[in-house]
Amino acid sequence: MKRLVTILLFFGVLLCFSCKVKRIAGPAGVTTPVIQAAIAKQGAEDFQDVFKRVLENKQAQLSYPNAIRSFYQSKTFQPVLISHFMLQDQLQTLLSYFEAVSRHGLDPKLFAVTNIRKMRERLYVKKGLTLNVYQDVVELELQVASSLLKYSNALQFGLLNPAQIDSNYFTPTAQPDSILMLRVLEVKDLRGYLDSIQPKGKKYLALQAALRDEIQAPKKTLEETQQTLKVNLERLRWRNKPTEQKFVRINIPEFNLQVIEKGISVLQMKVCVGEKGKETPQLGSKIYSVQVNPVWNIPESIAKNEISKYAGRDKYYLANNNIHVFKQGKLIDDPESIDWARENVSSYSFKQQPGYRNSLGKIKFLFKNESSVYLHDTPVKAAFNQPMRAISHGCVRVEKPLLLALALFEKGKKYEQIKSAMQSGYPRAKYIGLPVSVPVFITYYTTDIDEKGRLLFYDDIYGLDKALYAKLQDN
């Protein structure tokens, strides 16, 4: 009986105050006695049982069901959000942010705006309230919680998890945890919180402005441009950005490498990246060492599909390109005698020795990653003059390797060793470790801004824009 009285008082006060709030006032004729009578007709069914039952039934429709269940369990299954938001007119504030989410390239339908409005109105009728007021209140409460969490996480972490979209994505990317989500549901100053989570980076704001102003990219329709802006806004929301003062950034569609120090680009150069089918992965790691005059351990796929075929057509190809052949770790003295068309190439290993013909050039930059890729020099410099530079087997070829080494090592003994070894007429492979590892990030942005804030667009060479946009639409 005591619990029933508490519930009656709660809804009487809640809706009595709600009628005094201009923007969300219910229809005329809603009075506290009518409310109390409607609740009383519901019977003695325990409010917590209704809450638990509705939560169980609606669980599959909620954005973060585990976090929501944990939160309401701590609140003894009471509608704490709408009791606070409706009395202070903050529910309308929340809806206004949801309705304006298109400025972030997102669809308001993602946050159930229409559904929330309908459920709120269902609490009011001209001649009183619905008899099923308990369930109506709980459904509104849960939808508000679900949409608030989805909006909060979308703006701070992105709507999608990039690792679930692209199997070639290996950049550490933070995801929202339950502790953060519980804090969101405890927010009291809703407008202040919603303003605080608006991304404020220059690139993000520039892309937002371009989306709002319907800027059209060269050689793209307006619709294609808008899609490009939307997917790149999503990428900018992902929590995968470097926090270090100094790092190397390669942007695949731009075919460009930059060394960034304290927010300023101190070095730029062209790069070649993986061709379609042999894509360079997106990743985050740390460059810890270089190998000057490197040995190229030729991957099995390249040995099988390319090297052995060249050797089959020209028996001196291996010797002319300084490639040694091994079987079970033992060097083959006369690989010219091998009939590569008949042999099982997989039982052999191939290593190209240091020299001017080496495909890795004079130096490679090493960092741990799951794809066995690295940055390296190349003897084929003409490729950097091509506008389309997706031509490698997955590793990144750099235009000015010695300048990159200088930017990483800075002037000193180790840099002079690198410079001398690269210029040597008698090249020998040598590892030289960085005094301090430097982060490297390989990214995929198809639009960016330059130093003057002008918008730049790049081709979607791997089709990742299309894949991401389709996922945003499905979501």
pLDDT of 312-352, one tens digit each?
999 999 999 999 999 999 999 999 999 999 999 999 999 99
* 192 and 231 belong to one structural domain: no
pLDDT band at 179 (very low <50, low <70, confident <90, very high): very high
Note whether residue 61 is domain-resident: yes
Note whether residue 7 is domain-resident: yes
Domain finish residue from 196, 224, 247: 196
pTM of the shown model? 0.87
* 273 and 304 belong to one structural domain: no
* 239 and 303 belong to one structural domain: no
Note whether residue 357 is domain-resident: no
How far, in Å, CA of 150 to CA of 440, rounded?
31
* 208 and 257 belong to one structural domain: yes
Note whether residue 168 is domain-resident: yes
Mean pLDDT of the chain: 88
How far, in Å, CA of 366 to CA of 378, rounded?
15
* 186 and 239 belong to one structural domain: no
- DSSP line for 428-473: --EEEEEEEEEEEEEE--SEEE-TT--EEE---TTSHHHHHHHHHH
pLDDT band at 127 (very low <50, low <70, confident <90, very high): very low
Q: What is the rounded average pLDDT of the residues 64-80?
A: 92
Q: Locate 69 and state its tokens.
A: 């269940």
**What phi and psi values does residue 143 have, to the nearest 5 degrees?**
-70, -40
Query: Which pLDDT belongs to residue 344?
Result: 93
> Is the pLDDT reported for residue 457 higher than 80?
yes
Domain finish residue from 196, 231, 266: 196
Q: How many domains does the chain have?
A: 3
> Is the pLDDT reported for residue 21 higher than 80?
no
* 334 and 453 belong to one structural domain: no
Q: Which domain holds residue 417?
A: 203-294+362-474
pLDDT of 343-366, one tens digit each?
999 999 999 999 988 999 999 999
Q: State which amino acid sits at residue 452.
A: K
How far, in Å, CA of 143 to CA of 81, rounded?
10
* 18 and 122 belong to one structural domain: yes
* 338 and 375 belong to one structural domain: no
Note whether residue 396 is domain-resident: yes
> Is the pLDDT reported for residue 472 higher than 90?
yes
Note whether residue 71 is domain-resident: yes
β-bridge mates for residue 291, sequence order = 364, 431
* 242 and 337 belong to one structural domain: no
Environment class of 444 (CB within 10 Å of its CB; exposed 0-12, middle 13-18, buried 19+): buried
CATH number at residue 463: 2.40.440.10
Note whether residue 55 is domain-resident: yes
* 172 and 185 belong to one structural domain: yes
pLDDT band at 378 (very low <50, low <70, confident <90, very high): very high
How far, in Å, CA of 284 to CA of 17, rounded?
53
How far, in Å, CA of 119 to CA of 81, rounded?
14
Q: Locate 440 and state its tokens.
A: 């490297």
Residues assigned a catalytic role: 376, 395
Query: Among residues 224, 195, 226, 196, which one has the least CA distance to residue 210?
Result: 226
If one compares 189 and 37, the residue with the highest pLDDT of the two is: 189
pLDDT of 275-308, one tens digit each?
999 999 999 999 999 999 999 999 999 999 999 9
* 96 and 180 belong to one structural domain: yes
pLDDT of 142-166, one tens digit each?
999 999 999 999 999 999 999 999 9
* 342 and 463 belong to one structural domain: no
pLDDT band at 83 (very low <50, low <70, confident <90, very high): confident
Domain finish residue from 324, 352, 380: 352
CA-based radius of gyration for the chain: 31
pLDDT band at 17 (very low <50, low <70, confident <90, very high): very low
